[in-house]
Amino acid sequence: MKIELTLKNFRCFPDSHPAKIIIEDGWTAFLGVNNAGKSALLRFFFEFRAFFAELGNAGQWANIGRQNILQIAFGSSVRDPIEVFHNQNSRPLTIELQVTPPSDYPHQTERLLTGAIFQFMQSDPIRFQAQELKLANGDVFPFNPSYGHPNPDIIAHGADRAIIHLLVSAGKRLANTFYIAAFRNVLNTGAKSDYFDIQVGDAFVRNWRSMQTGDNKRQVKACGEIVSIIERLFGFSRLEIRAANANDTLQIVIDGNPYLLHELGAGIAQFILVLVNAANARPDYILIDEPELHLHPSLQLDFLTSLGEFAKHGVLFSTHCIGLARSAADRIYSVIRNADGLSSRTELFDRTPNLAEFLGAMSYSSYQAIGFSKVLLVEGTTEVRTVQQFLRKLGKDHRILLLPLGGSSLIRSGVEHELAEIKRITADLHALIDSERAATGEPLSKDRQDFANLCRNLEINCHILDRRAIENYLPDAAVKAVKGASHRQLTPYEKFRDVVPAWGKQENWRIASETNWDEIKDTDLGKFLTTL
């Protein structure tokens, strides 16, 4: 499901420069300077959660019509409801919603509502109404709420009918988010039990004790998963996390040595706090402000992918770090302050990557200082996360820095300068690219062969997969573990878009994480990664 949102007159985004973003499965980054509006975009989903919950309730659509004006409550962070409006005009705040169904959408698309425009009035209390409802064919549906229908997925206007199932599904998904603000401190003790969506302080410590020692098997299992993630990321041989007797802090036992949490760094405290809260919530989307806080560059990508394990559909994050955005995100939005200094706008960040600049943006020298010894170029950001899972199984994920090539933008001839520049930064450079072959022994395309020849001339170890692409190595058991029994693995040369039922490339990393290494260790991919 692709959800397109246009926000007009929301906070720093006026109707002359609306914020336009697309929400899909995977990772979305908002990149920009301080006070540009990145956090405002993330908080939008927290503040308008009640509105999306209304859309996700099919029974409410009888009241969401052109003639009805409904009240709405905002998130707890909003002290004065007027603050959500752009402060340079008195016009309404408008949310435009356009939803594209997935390829395997099970419902008929005739008379399917795919778009809606909602308007919020600056009144006391704040009220909203539907301004326009659009069908999949582009026609406007003349909805009159005085007509009901016994099927809650259908709204009526006289004899005309429209199916609201897709917009209801989008509302449910956008209402089921989990927002993690930039300030994250487990020791914020006292009576206050939450900070936006995360539980902090004494309440958090008590909750950890309950999760660890309670009867809920899912929570007990989640505790074990969290401990294992942190143990692996920080290189501990054995880790235990316990609530202190007074429930006012945590006791951390690292390789047999006990510490109270305040004796350790902010990085490990953040990992514990965020992962425990996310594991409890299991939302559709996790929203996190500045995930790089308190973390060395080498841990930032791992933190994001670990966090993504607890989100059903994806992670949206704001960051100042261009390297993190370009290595982790499937979509990057630049959030830019306008010349007037009073408003902002969003733009897609889609320029062709410069690899040498990219390594500098990722603070490669910092990676080298703690033992990263190799750089591996891969197809794109989805391959970064997928290969990372395989390297994790080999214990090499913190020794090899993964860098996305951007697909055909760099896998071609004419990139000698790019490759030579990065070779000057690190001599231990490798590449892993898809063959895109349709059959055994089929010649490579000219662009891919030219890229392989350039690598050979520059003494870069370039491995071209025997099979069509990396998803053709994902085993059937792992595919079914993530997607269900109706899904299957790809044959060695099958196109990804041809498999039925399909899944998104953004989910490949989840399947890779479920893969038993023994199933791929003897393939050309397994042997190549083992030799690195």
With contact defined as beta carbons under 8 Å apart, do 342 and 331 qualify? no
pLDDT at 76: 79
228 class by beta-carbon count within 10 Å (0-12 exposed, 13-18 middle, 19+ buried) = exposed
* Distance, CA of 159 to CA of 155 (rounded, Å): 10
Determine the Cα–Cα distance for residues 175 and 221; give it in Å rounded to an integer: 26
The strand pair at 160-163 and 154-157 is best described as: antiparallel
In which residue are the tokens 């989840």 written?
510
pLDDT value of residue 24? 92
Q: Mean pLDDT by 10-residue block, N- to C-terminus, for the chain (532 residues)?
A: 96 95 94 89 95 90 66 82 91 96 76 92 84 90 65 80 91 96 63 75 88 90 90 88 88 94 83 88 95 84 89 94 86 90 87 66 66 86 93 89 87 90 86 96 95 94 97 97 95 94 91 96 97 95
**Could you state, in order of their start, the residue ranges of all structural domains in the chain?**
2-176, 180-281, 353-531
- The torsion angles phi and psi of 120, rounded to 5 degrees, stand at -115, 125
**b/e 32-51 (16+ beta carbons within 10 angstroms → b):** beeebbbbbbbbbbbbbbeb
At 41 the pLDDT is 95
Which pLDDT tens digit goes with each residue over 320-378?
888 888 888 999 998 988 888 889 999 888 755 567 776 676 666 666 665 677 899 99
For 293-344, give the DSSP string. TT--HHHHHHHHHHHHTT-SSEEEEEES-HHHHHHH-SEEEEEEE-TTSS-E
**Any bridge partners for residue 400, and if so which?**
374
Phi, psi of 136 (to 5 degrees): -60, -30
Asked whether 431 and 462 are in contact (CB, 8 A), the reply is yes
Those residues whose C-beta lies under 8 Å from the C-beta of residue 67, and which sit 6 or more positions away, are 144, 145, 146
Across 194-226, b (16+ Cβ under 10 Å) vs e yields: ebbbbbbbbbbbebbbebbeeeeeebeebbeeb
Residue 92 to residues 76, 87, 97, 198, 512, Cα–Cα distance (Å): 21, 11, 16, 31, 46
Q: What's the confidence (pLDDT) of residue 353?
A: 59
Q: Tokens 């990722």 — which residue?
A: 362
Q: 255, exposed or middle or buried, with CB in 10 Å at 0-12, 13-18, 19+? A: exposed
Beta strand pairing call for 154-157 and 127-135:
unpaired
pLDDT digit string, tens, across residues 21-58: 999 999 999 988 888 899 999 999 999 999 999 999 98
**CA–CA separation, 233 and 248 (whole Å):** 25
What residues have CB less than 8 Å from 430, skipping those under 6 apart?
374, 375, 376, 377, 460, 461, 462, 463, 532
Please tell me the predicted confidence (pLDDT) of residue 191: 45
Instruction: Name residue 193's amino acid.
Output: S
Q: Tell me what pLDDT residue 67 has.
A: 52
pLDDT at 435: 96
pLDDT digits (tens, 9 = 90+) for 315-331: 999 998 888 888 889 99
pLDDT of amino acid 371: 63
Which residues have CB under 8 Å from 419's CB, separation 6+? 355, 429, 454, 455, 458, 460
- How far apart are alpha carbons 475 and 41 in whole angstroms? 38
* Buried/exposed code over 497-522 (b: 16+ C-beta within 10 A; e: otherwise): eebeeebbbbbbbbbbbbbeeebbee
CB-count exposure of residue 257 (10 Å: 0-12, 13-18, 19+): exposed
